[in-house]
A and B are shown apart, each in its own frame.
Chain A
Amino acid sequence: MSSTPGGTGAPQDRLKVLSRRAFSFLLDWMAWGYVAYCVMYLLNYYWYTVHVDWWGTLTLPSWGWPVVILSTLELAVWCRSLGRSLGQRAIGVALRPVAGERIRLGRRVLRGFLWHLSVPFAPVWIARGEEPLHDRLTQVGLRTETPDPERPGRRAILTQWGFFSLFLAALTMCVGWLIIGINLQVLIRRAPQAGRIWGEMLRPDFRYFTAPDPVFHLRALSYSILDLTVVTVFMALVATVLGGVMAFPLSFLGARNVMGFSPAGWATYGVIRGFFNVFRSIETIIWASIFAIWVGYGTVLAGILALTIHTIAALGKLYSEQVEGVSPGPLEAVWAAGGSRIQVVRHAVIPQVLPSFWAFTLYRWDINVRMATVIALVGGGGIGDMLFYYKNQGDWSKVGAVVMVIVAVVWAMDYISGRLRERIA
């Protein structure tokens, strides 16, 4: 890239130069902003917890924010002119003289001052393919840094950039530790209480494995552990099958190579991919809490709907990525023989992707079984109902029994689906 002097390059290239320079500047500014935030957090922490001055306050005055913003801006500017810029390094450029060997300190300082005058017009100059004034007058320019393969340089950690990143990492760790404010001592202090619970859970109560537990009711009916385990596995199965069946046709609509490059193709692709991404980023447990309100708290239907929605989106994305990864040759051959788009999908795409579709679906069933054991927490039904009921009763030996059954089922599912996937692939 780099801003080549003298108006060369197409307009879109110049815009790219402009946006990259702006991006690298923002990066510098944000880095200093981050350091400023960390320092202020540490000061605050000192003030309220070590110094403990409850009478004084440590809030910024009304002119404080502009000062912080301007001072970080100044820091970024001077770093860039003095040649120690994270942002310049990130886009792989450095300040270089137009002629001559190296830039004297005076020229760098001059550039720093000139920047303040010329920055409002800098975008105009760069967009016109010229150097901005502060670069032109000081005879420097941002040039792409190409590493010299003959001189590999020192190990990255020993450079000043290495020290700087170590410092940033240490600062982040310190501030982060204070922010989350955890206390590991409780882990030891309350170990005896936890020990009692562990002890009860490890003596599981399997009396109600097959016989319904009279204490536990769901809508006036009692269930055994096995009853609800079977319900849970089938919830996952139904959700996986429904989700897979719906994701299958949608995945072809969300694949670039099938949809082609017409405006309608782009639109369909965008809508479908957007649907996949949005619905996939909303976790099953959130869907379950929505559907629990919609179709009834603690019903199996709520759980199945939640699992299905998430399965459609997750499988749809995986499927369409597989479709995009098929080798284009067979598609070309079916087109050449006079096939339609549907025939191309049916006879060139599907035979190539079907095995991996099966593998993903099996894996998804596996995930859904695991999800189905916990969605009862928000009213999704399944064995979790029993688990959380016993937990709330403090009946830890029954909790232990339920957890062990869940572990056994999940392990078995994992093993079976793993073996099946091996056979398919």
Chain B
Amino acid sequence: MPTPYLVIDGLTKVYERGQVHALRGLSFSVEKGEFLVVIGLSGSGKSTLLRCINRLIEPTEGKIWLDGTDVARLSAKRMRRVRRRIGMIFQQFNLVDRATTVRNVLTGRLGYMPGWRSLLGLFSSQDKQTALANLERVGLRDKAYARVDELSGGQRQRVGIARALMQKPEILLADEPVSALDPATSHSIMQYLEQMNRQDGVTVIASLHFLSLARRYGTRIIALKDGQLVFDGPPKTIDNAKFKEIYGEDAEEVEVR
């Protein structure tokens, strides 16, 4: 039996000198081509989990096997080479507001560039072509030379997606990609992620707040509570009782259409 694409084994993260336990011995695995949705309350460890996978946050304990290498033990230099294959999009988009859209998209290419070229900002013409093509793909070709602070929230997240596409990622981490957006825009962003998942075969791990979005787009759902896994299975199997267990007794489900 081939090993799964991503294996998380006993992942633990402790913040602030042992005061806060964000993740407590988390273990699960992800197959190539899955669309995994992580749900859970605020502070349940979703963001920490995603950031441990590409080591933006150093895990305290545990192993993260990505395609046969233990990411948690790599040196900083080799970790950078692995990060090139891991795309990431963020809740707050994390774009440079003062720079143009195409500049922001090109920063997705930095991991592949030699130091001196990136220091001078000399992106190759091929990279620029790719950047424009990726902007075309997310429907923002006409905004390529506009400053990011002129764009709306949904447009900014699409720039974030184009930036992740520049890496030609094998796996995409999406940290609450639609939490700052309205419902209609949320669906359009999620559809871009779905398209990447289906057409390019990118494995997607997305944390979401709304169960309805998770059911609609995910091929599999895991739920976190206090840094522990409380659910793992296909979207259909989350019933009302499970929902209450994840979100607490007083929770009501809100539908996003």
Contacts and interface: CB of A to CB of B under 8 A. Distances in A.
Contacts of B97: 352
A343 B56 contact: no
12 contacts: A329-B92, A330-B94, A330-B107, A333-B88, A333-B163, A336-B83, A337-B87, A337-B111, A339-B80, A340-B115, A343-B110, A343-B118
A207 interface: no
A333 B121 contact: no
Interface in B150-168: 160, 163, 166-167
Interface in A325-384: 329-330, 332-340, 342-343, 346-348, 351-352, 355
Given A339-B111, A346-B119, A346-B121, A333 B94 contact: yes
B98 A347 contact: no
Is the contact region of chain A dominated by helix, strand, or loop, or is it mixed?
A: helix
A332 B119 CA distance: 18
Interface residues of B, number: 36
Contacts of B103: 351
Interface string B80-109: 111110111010111111110001000111
Contacts of B160: 333
Contact of A332 (B81, B87, B94, B99): B94
B32 to A, nearest CB: 20
* Closest 7 A/B residue pairs (Cβ): A338-B111, A329-B94, A338-B83, A338-B84, A333-B94, A336-B88, A339-B110
Nearest to A347: B107
Interface residues of A, number: 19
B131 to A, nearest CB: 13
A27 to B, nearest CB: 31
A330 B109 CA distance: 14
A333 B107 contact: yes
Nearest to A330: B96
B178 to A, nearest CB: 16
Nearest to A332: B94
Nearest to B91: A329
Interface of B: 54, 56, 80-84, 86-88, 90, 92-99, 103, 107-113, 115, 118-119, 121, 160, 163, 166-167, 173
A347 B110 CA distance: 9
Contacts of A355: 98
A352 B98 contact: yes
B98 A334 contact: no
A336 B86 contact: yes
A347 B118 CA distance: 8
Given A332-B90, A337-B83, A337-B84, A348 B107 contact: yes
A337 B54 CA distance: 9
A63 B137 CA distance: 89
Interface string A310-335: 00000000000000000001101111
Interface string A97-137: 00000000000000000000000000000000000000000
A346 B88 CA distance: 20
A352 B107 CA distance: 14
A330 B95 contact: yes
A333 B90 contact: yes
A333 B166 CA distance: 13
A362 B108 CA distance: 33
Interface in A183-223: none
Interface string A136-172: 0000000000000000000000000000000000000
A238 B80 CA distance: 41
Contacts of A336: 54, 56, 83, 86-88, 173
